[in-house]
Amino acid sequence: SQKIEQNSEALNIQEGKTATLTCNYTNYSPAYLQWYRQDPGRGPVFLLLIRENEKEKRKERLKVTFDTTLKQSLFHITASQPADSATYLCALSNAGNNRKLIWGLGTSLAVNP
Amino acid sequence: DAGVTQSPTHLIKTRGQQVTLRCSPKSGHDTVSWYQQALGQGPQFIFQYYEEEERQRGNFPDRFSGHQFPNYSSELNVNALLLGDSALYLCASSFVAGGAGTEAFFGQGTRLTVV
């Protein structure tokens, strides 16, 4: 069955450092991979989308890579800030069912001042 | 421009009861998807509505049903509530014309507690 794995352990980093989160998947060939941020008790907020034919995408301090051979995406936050503390979720979809998202469990990130 | 709005924000129900959750999509959006998120888990896809019809469905029993209205708003109904139905229920909207790979906009969710 389809499986998505994200860093199971919470990530604690110092302010100003780069946070790197991992999303690995098996038994799936996604056309799209998305990253969302979720704060406690709130709905996920879209951050970035990357297509299967794209290797890398950037938005301000955020960078996402997508390696379909390794079946892995890396999500980087550079110059991290305490306000970046949240749970980050990766979600996959294919071209035919692009609005049915399959989600990882999320990785909790804490940026310490 | 209002984003996705869900009501109520919190709800407590007793086992065996029925519940209806409501969602108004973002302006201009015509597709609504519902997700269930248990504590510490990622969202699980329940179903999706477009043009007032259920288009896709996840692995949820028939106790979970829905509806979409002509104004694109949607309801999620859950019958015969079980303790395991306690979760955050999320509504996400998008628009078909946006094409494949469209980002989803989420509401703040409804926290359902079944006692």
- pLDDT tens digits for range A80-111: 999 999 999 999 988 765 568 899 999 999 99
Residue A105: CB atoms within 10 Å: 16
Q: What pLDDT score was predicted for residue A112?
A: 96
Interface probe, candidates B106, B110, B111, B113, chain A, greatest A C-beta count within 10 A? B106
Summarize pLDDT for B60-113 with one digit per residue, the tens: 999 999 999 999 999 999 999 999 999 999 999 988 766 656 788 999 999 999
* Arithmetic mean of pLDDT over chain A: 92
According to DSSP, the residues that pair with A108 across neighbouring strands are: A87
- Exposed, middle or buried: residue A90 (CB in 10 Å: 0-12, 13-18, 19+)? buried
A110 touches chain B (CB under 8 A): no
Q: Does A95 sit within 8 Å of B100, measured CB to CB?
A: yes
Average of pLDDT values for A48-69?
Answer: 95
Instruction: Provide φ and ψ at B98, rounded to 5°.
Output: -70, -15
Query: Which of A67-71, A72-76, B100-104 has the lowest average pLDDT?
Result: B100-104
Which residue in chain B is spatially nearest to A106 when comparing CA positions? Answer: B42
DSSP string computed for A19-79: EEEEEEEES---SEEEEEEE-TTS--EEEEEEETT-SEEEETTEEEEEETTTTEEEEEESS
* Arithmetic mean of pLDDT over chain B: 93
